[in-house]
Structure 1
Amino acid sequence: MKHNVKRNLSLLLVAFVMMATVFVQPLATQAAKTVELEAESAILVDAETGKILFAKDADIALPPASMTKMMTEYLVWDAIESGQISWDTKTKISDYAYSISASPLLSGIGLRQDKEYTVKELYDAMAIISDNGTTIALAELIAGSEGDFVKMMNKKAEEMGLPDYKFVNSTGLPNSLLGENVPEGTDPNANNLLSARSAALLAYNLINDHPEALSVSSQISLDFEGYKNVENLNWMLPHKATFLQQFNYKGVDGLKTGHTDIAGYCFTGTAERNGQRLISVVMKTDSKAKRFHETAKLFDYGFSNFETKELFAKGHQVDGQEALPIANGKEETVEIATNKAIKVPVQQGQAEKYTLKYTIDKEKLNKDGELTAPIEKGEKIGTAELIFEGENDFGYIFNAESNKTVDIIAQDSVEKDNWFMLILGSIGDFFSNLFSTIVDTVKGWF
């Protein structure tokens, strides 16, 4: 009896373990693949490769509010690098910039018109505390007027390949709040527009083309015009204030908050851990705190579930496709391989779902599918495309063919055969073809 009881208990324990394996583990795996966000639109991107790790309605164009200033920041850096201005360049404050800065309702720090400000002072106030007056002052300095600066913004957006954008001012404020200062050529009732994908691509360009921007966006506070320790609006930085510490996130060093009544609370963030940098965008959340909580969810998901791996090394050869035949060469074949490694962020357990697909340049092949000598070592023969056969492939933030496609090149040089051997080969081919014709003809007689 005791033996039967023990046996039954053992069977129950085994059944419980099996059920836990069957049901609990898949649920955990499923949870790792999803992020539930309280934001109208969002995206998470690997900052090295541009690979999109997560997206939620990322192509809806929405008002970005002060996230607009990322484009203004980019154009300031461009002007610095081109020598048009320097950090020490000084400028006075126009009536327009002054009126915006003087308004406590428009994130104004209180600029003065009886002094000149350096570009560095204006940029820091824009990037750290999102001051609108300093942003306008920089736009006017660079382009002469905000209207002309807006043209520069839209031109740069086109050059970057932003898929969804419309810039109508340099700050992100609704044009309806600018009164008689609405930038020339724009609708008085218009708003800037960006999709989450476009905001992420803008951030990608900013931190890759001008990485020094992060040294400013990561500053926790700013002293400006008599104000001491004005806090950075990015609460995910390591603020010392007790209330803000709950939002601190290790590795965050940027990038730009945004808020207007129509835009809600937005945030473009970036963080780096163990050599991996992520870019996130959340748009239209319902509170200051929510935009940071939702961003933390994205970062947790990215850092916990993805690791950048070298899937295929330089010189990789696909099994069964290591070589191609050659016509008129001293060698009958030439080996082919990839010219560089392919490295992408890979979700846990997904590495085996990546393969390479060869596409040989048809213009290099004769009618028999052979390469024609001579062939140079390192000559491009075709391309190898990375193919993912798993789920949740969101693609890249831009047309990133360079990240998933590499060249296939010849591993050795193959010289053209000498004229005598080519003639012998032609003669051999002639008699071979003649013999085949005779045999076919004779077979037709019977």
Structure 2
Amino acid sequence: MIKSKLTKLLKVALSASLAFPVLMTGSAAYASEHDVKIEADASLLIDYKTGQILHEEDADEAKGIASMTKMLVEYILFQEIEAGNLDWDSEVTISDYAHEISQNYALSNVPLRAGETYTVEELYEALAIYSANGATIALAEKIEGSESAFVDRMRTLADSFGIKDYEIYNTTGLNNSYLNGNHYPDSDEDAENVMSAKGIAKVAMKLLEDYPEVLETSSVPEKIFREGTQDAISMRNWNWMLKGLPNEREGVDGLKTGTTDFAGATFTGTAKRDDQRLISVVMGAGDGFTERSQRFVETGKLLDYGFDEWNYTTLVEQDVTLDDADALPVKNGAEEKVTLKTTETLAYYVPKQEDDEAVGYTFEPNEELLNEKGEIEAPVETGAIVGELVLEDQENIDFIDSDVKESIPVAAAETIERAGFFTVVLNIVKDFFGSLKDRF
């Protein structure tokens, strides 16, 4: 494999011509020295757009997720709406099971009447704003016929997101002991949903990516359920970081809290500042009962750390000619080499307080295009992809998707025509005698 070091190029040519610093040692290396301390059993902070991890602590260990489970329910509900199987005015008849759960006011609930109908929108708002458990079960039964069948679909969805080491037994995140015997077949009576912080962050990323309209409801601080009826109840959002609530923070517009004895206080938050959106996860931040604000205080620390300590920085611009890099040798071409150019922009979160250390890149040509001497055969068309520009220190930059390989395609910056007949024949003769020389 042919490799051309581009550190000098990026340090001199790019930083000069594009007027940006090419500085970083990697998020993992930086975090080890400058990371924020979060008072929780597990915590995670990622960039929504790229999935780059800015902070993690015990983020791979499966822990109780409580009502953060309901983000999977929301995703499936939006799938059904998108597919035309439901609309927001579709009617849902309340089963005895959903009714029984809704009457337990030790849990988060809105009152539901057995046998009566409610719209999908009413139940969804109760789920998203107030984390209403009976409403969640009613939606699951509407979509799949039973909660157990819906759990099977949730598991399939989690698998499709690449989430591993999870356990899902119900739609609400409650301990099975609260479900009046209506728990998933063969599951323990006290079983409870678990997933890692990275797993639940993947759920949040997919939900925001595919159905960003979820933020229209998750950002509502308070709403009256069935206003104007005798069942009217005020639903104050359990996300206290929303406007007008005790831990209000500008830019926060979601996403889902959860609290059980087993999980403690959990929260998947998201906030936007300018064009940057971050996703945070805290798990086991106090018990959620006596320390009701701790999860939001810790989330605030994470968001401060992400927005204030990191810059989203363009490291390599699109359509930059790599003039200082070794050009790619061309076989049987009118020119002996072809210059290279980038085809995309490469950007990362870069620590603001960083050493003056240039990023190292390696050009890795597509070996399938090269002969044994590392040459590409002419003709070569402008824009033809000939390899990749790969970040050298990938072990120091982590992503929520472990399969991410941070690189950008590199293309030919010019067209190299095939050489004339006699030049090609001469090259064949040279190759022939060269091979004889190698043998003897």
Q: For 1:247-284, what per-residue CA distance to the aligned partner results, in whole angstroms no more than 9, with x for missing partners? A: 11110000111000111111110111122111100001
Of 396, 401, 404, the match for 2:399: 396
| Paired position in structure 1 for 2:362 | 357
| Paired position in structure 1 for 2:41 | 40
**Matched position secondary structure for 2:257:** strand
**Matched position secondary structure for 1:179:** coil
**Matched position secondary structure for 1:134:** helix
**Matched position secondary structure for 1:367:** coil
**Matched position secondary structure for 2:392:** strand
Q: After TM superposition, list the pairs within 5 Å mapping 1:130-141 onto structure 2.
A: 130-141=131-142
Q: TM-score, normalised by structure 1?
A: 0.84
| Paired position in structure 2 for 1:260 | 260
Q: After TM superposition, list the pairs within 5 Å mapping 1:15-26 onto structure 2.
A: none
CA distance in 2, matches of 1:30, 1:271: 21
**Matched position secondary structure for 1:257:** strand
CA distance in 2, matches of 1:158, 1:408: 33
Q: For 1:293-324, what per-residue CA distance to the aligned partner results, in whole angstroms no more than 9, with x for missing partners? A: 11111111111111111111113455642411
**Matched position secondary structure for 1:166:** coil
1:422 partner letter: V
CA distance in 2, matches of 1:123, 1:433: 73
**Could you tell me whether the CA contact under 8 Å between 1:122 and 1:138 is conserved in 2?**
yes
**Could you tell me whether the CA contact under 8 Å between 2:334 and 2:417 is conserved in 1?**
yes
Q: For 1:31-53, what per-residue CA distance to the aligned partner results, in whole angstroms no more than 9, with x for missing partners? A: 99221111010000111111110
Aligned residues: 402
CA distance in 1, matches of 2:402, 2:434: 50
Q: Tell me which protein shows more helix as a share of its residues.
A: 1
Distance 1:186 1:419, change over 3 A: farther
1:121 partner letter: E
Return 5+ residue gaps in structure 1 as ranges.
Answer: 1-28, 442-446
| Paired position in structure 2 for 1:11 | none
1:377 and 2:386 equivalent?
no
1:331 and 2:332 equivalent?
no
CA distance in 2, matches of 1:430, 1:283: 68
CA distance in 2, matches of 1:420, 1:235: 78
Of 313, 316, 319, the match for 1:315: 319
Of structures 1 and 2, the one with the larger relative CO (CA 8 A, separation 6+) is 2
**Could you tell me whether the CA contact under 8 Å between 1:384 and 1:408 is conserved in 2?**
yes
Return 5+ residue gaps in structure 2 as ranges.
Answer: 1-29
1:188 partner letter: E
2:365 partner letter: I
CA distance in 2, matches of 1:31, 1:407: 31
1:235 and 2:240 equivalent?
yes
**Could you tell me whether the CA contact under 8 Å between 1:32 and 1:301 is conserved in 2?**
no
| Paired position in structure 2 for 1:143 | 144
Q: After TM superposition, list the pairs within 5 Å mapping 1:266-285 onto structure 2.
A: 266-285=266-285
Q: For 1:213-264, what per-residue CA distance to the aligned partner results, in whole angstroms no more than 9, with x for missing partners? A: 0010000112114435421111000126xxx2xx111100001110001111
CA distance in 1, matches of 2:127, 2:33: 37
Deviation at residue 338 of structure 1 after TM alignment: 2.0
2:81 partner letter: I
Amino-acid identity (%): 41
CA distance in 2, matches of 1:96, 1:428: 84
Distance 1:185 1:81, change over 3 A: farther
**Could you tell me whether the CA contact under 8 Å between 2:343 and 2:409 is conserved in 1?**
yes
Distance 1:256 1:335, change over 3 A: same
Distance 1:180 1:422, change over 3 A: same
1:421 partner letter: T
**Matched position secondary structure for 1:103:** coil
Of 291, 297, 304, the match for 1:293: 297
CA distance in 1, matches of 2:427, 2:251: 67
Distance 1:327 1:143, change over 3 A: same
**Could you tell me whether the CA contact under 8 Å between 2:330 and 2:338 is conserved in 1?**
yes
Q: TM-score, normalised by structure 2?
A: 0.85
Deviation at residue 359 of structure 1 after TM alignment: 1.6
**Could you tell me whether the CA contact under 8 Å between 1:358 and 1:384 is conserved in 2?**
yes
1:426 and 2:428 equivalent?
yes
**Could you tell me whether the CA contact under 8 Å between 2:241 and 2:252 is conserved in 1?**
yes
Structure possessing the higher radius of gyration over alpha carbons: 1
**Could you tell me whether the CA contact under 8 Å between 1:339 and 1:409 is conserved in 2?**
yes
2:165 partner letter: D
| Paired position in structure 1 for 2:414 | 412
**Could you tell me whether the CA contact under 8 Å between 2:109 and 2:130 is conserved in 1?**
no
**Matched position secondary structure for 2:360:** strand
**Matched position secondary structure for 1:36:** coil
